[in-house]
Structure 1
Amino acid sequence: MKIVCVPDSFKGSVTAAEAAAAMARGARQIFSDAEVTELPFADGGEGTLDALLALWNQQARSVETVDTIGRPRTARWGLSPDGRTAVIEAAEGNGLPAVSDVPLQPRRADTYGVGLILAEALASGAQEILLCLGGSASTDGGTGILTALGAEFLDRHGAPVPPGGEGLSRIASVNTENLHPLARSVRWRLAVDVDNPLTGPRGAAAVFGPQKGADDHDVAALDAGLAHLARVLAEHVGADPQHYREAEGFGAAGGIPVTVMSLLGPEAGGQAEILPGSRMVAEAVGLQQALADADVVLTGEGRLDTQSLGGKVVHAVQQYAPESAAVVVIAGAVQLSPAQCRQAGLTAALSIAPGAANLLQLQEQAAQLIEDTTAHVCALLSQR
């Protein structure tokens, strides 16, 4: 019997590594002689850094940076054992949780702090940057990142524009003469868990702006600013501005991909690509190989719903699992019907809630509840 435990983190409760360990303990209660593998997973957003560090058996590194409104903070990032790959969660420098203590500033918030983390990663000698996008409080099109790496976004008088989304509509030119010397020599991989374009009704401002504090006027201004940025960047590198506005995923994290891809990607002589975060992590952890001959695949997350089937962890795990394997989801809450689970290729999905309980109780007992639920699952599977 080969059992592979491949969960995401349960937000606010346990990390992916802690969830995998709990699943493994539960599985061994029933299948004491089984080969049980723990493989913490993530979809490229929150938790990706911890998942990869756990896999690599590495400790997080720290760097002094600023949050999305310019206040000092210490950020975490990671480096693979061979020093070739650096992993950065953008939210360490522009995340919503770091500014939850003050009123949100949707037009002022920027990604400069993310750029400072990236500069540290470049200085480490890493040859590949895995930039995980998600959980952002900014909508600056990634201009803050490139500013921190030496680029200049100038108005028609040749002066730097204000930081954040409020300065986007004033950009007249881009100067990359002082760009970090290593910025275009490394391979950039941008992990996204959304396919939204940069602008329009499904764009970065319209869809994600409100959760960052933007009202209708802010959304309109930010959307127009991002469209203007796309035009300036396209002119700078000789690209099609419509592609920048409409490309899938360019609306992630307030539009970070549009500036990184245009100024550090192939059109600028660099190496950059945007890809689904779950696929990126799957490649990094060797998911296909790990699941190749599994008999039972256990995965999970805090909430299993329709979004889980659109490129998130559960979907990725199901895609890579052998057809003969039982694929079971263990989640804090299950909001899919049995029919929906079967249609998605899942054997079953179970909630860890033992009965009536509030969210705080479930969070406090999450590890033990995951272990217990896994043991119940494996007891049923042992009768097959």
Structure 2
Amino acid sequence: MKVLLAVDKFKGTLSGARLCEALAAGIQSVAPHYSVVHCPIADGGDGTVDAALAAGYTEVQCQVTGPFSGQKVTARYAYSEAEYTAVLEVAQACGMASLTSEQLDTWHATSYGVGELLLHAVENGAQAAIVGLGGSATTDGGAGMLQALGVSFCDRLGRELAPGGGALAELAGVDISGLDARLQDLNIIVASDVTNPLVGPHGAAAVYGPQKGATPEQVPLLAQNLEKLAVLVEESLNVSRGTFAHAPGAGAAGGLGFACMSVLGASVSPGVDICCEFTGFYDALACADLVVTGEGKFDEQTLQGKGPAGVADAAHQKGIPAIAVCGINELRQEQYQGAGFTAVYSVTADTQARLAESLADPAPYVQELGALIARNYLEPPEEIKAGQ
């Protein structure tokens, strides 16, 4: 009898791997006769690299440009020598997590370091790259990333543009002829749960700009700049206007989705599907009797393509119960059951932990939830029952 632990992180406190450890300890304290399989998952955002490392990939570190030009950060990605595949997160180079609210400045933030990450992976032997889009501080349409890869963005005087989405106001010409030739042989797969286009009322600037520090005055200007970028890039590619700018997912990570799809020829897939593939979740699911998934907070966003929702759907299709654990649950029973979850257990509702305690160190309480799930859902073998 097998229990499959396919959990995402509790953001800011526990990684998916650490959550698996805590849950396993709780489950096996009650049901030691069950085999517990660890399979941390992610949805293309923060934690995607960690999920790949837990699946056996090797960690690689390198220095790249951070969210702001002139700033270097140490970024890491996961690499499989057997598969010649790199798993990257754009947040490692231009993420919001490392910035305070006062430091957020999407007008000037650049995705240049993402291009440097891709080049490092290519130089390391990668023939395929899974790029997790999520948590970026940028709204530059991926122009910074493309500049690092050899694409030129110039103003009317032929000068290379400064970094950031604000500088795109001066954009007058795009030249993709300098794109690093090695990228032609790199199979790029974009992992994202965002379906927004690059431009329009649901575009990158309008929807995500404010949370990245854009002022009310800057949001419409950033939207205009992205529109200009899209027109010139699509003209340089000789495709119809809007071909990529209006594509679902083009607005992910401040427009990095657009840059990857258009200039780099990347395919786009839901982050949870991609992560479940490289972590071996689907193979493990075939042998599972119970699935436990979860993330830090369960709310309506959880049901919109997040990792646990994908896990629950896959388990439900095979008739396998899917139990969720979380720190805080804001979903009603009919909501989570309608999404395929059998039950949801939360630290704040199903243990004695106060909110501050659960945020400081949720591991003991997650272990407690694991024991509770085992008592409620895992029957002891017949020989154990007979001896009781």
TM-score when scaled to structure 2?
0.93
Partner of 2:32: 32
In the alignment, residue 313 of structure 2 is paired with which amino acid? Q
Structure 2 CA distance for aligned equivalents of residues 368 and 144 of structure 1: 43
5-14 vs 78-87, which moves further: 78-87
Unaligned runs of 5+ in 1: 266-271
SS at match of 2:344: strand
Equivalent runs, 1:1-384 vs 2, <5 Å: 1-56=1-56, 58-70=57-69, 71-82=71-82, 84-100=84-100, 103-265=103-265, 272-321=266-315, 322-353=317-348, 354-355=351-352, 357-359=354-356, 361-383=357-379
SS at match of 1:135: coil
SS at match of 1:315: helix
Work out whether residues 295 and 325 of structure 2, in 8 Å CA contact, stay in contact via their aligned partners in 1.
yes
Superposed CA RMSD in Å reads 1.6
SS at match of 2:181: coil
Structure 1 CA distance for aligned equivalents of residues 83 and 368 of structure 2: 38
Following superposition, the deviation at residue 171 of structure 1 comes to: 2.2
Following superposition, the deviation at residue 383 of structure 1 comes to: 5.0
- 1:208-228 deviations in whole A, cap 9, x for unaligned? 101111112210111001111
Work out whether residues 197 and 204 of structure 2, in 8 Å CA contact, stay in contact via their aligned partners in 1.
yes
Structure 2 CA distance for aligned equivalents of residues 103 and 313 of structure 1: 29
In the alignment, residue 114 of structure 2 is paired with which amino acid? V
Work out whether residues 55 and 278 of structure 2, in 8 Å CA contact, stay in contact via their aligned partners in 1.
no
Structure 2 CA distance for aligned equivalents of residues 100 and 184 of structure 1: 37
Following superposition, the deviation at residue 333 of structure 1 comes to: 0.7
SS at match of 1:52: helix
Work out whether residues 329 and 349 of structure 1, in 8 Å CA contact, stay in contact via their aligned partners in 2.
yes
- 1:12-33 deviations in whole A, cap 9, x for unaligned? 1110011112111222122212
SS at match of 2:25: helix
Following superposition, the deviation at residue 83 of structure 1 comes to: 5.3
Partner of 1:269: none
Unaligned runs of 5+ in 2: 381-388
In the alignment, residue 7 of structure 2 is paired with which amino acid? P
Runs of 4+, deviation exceeding 6 Å: none
Following superposition, the deviation at residue 101 of structure 1 comes to: 7.5
Structure 2 CA distance for aligned equivalents of residues 342 and 99 of structure 1: 37
SS at match of 1:61: strand
TM-score when scaled to structure 1?
0.94
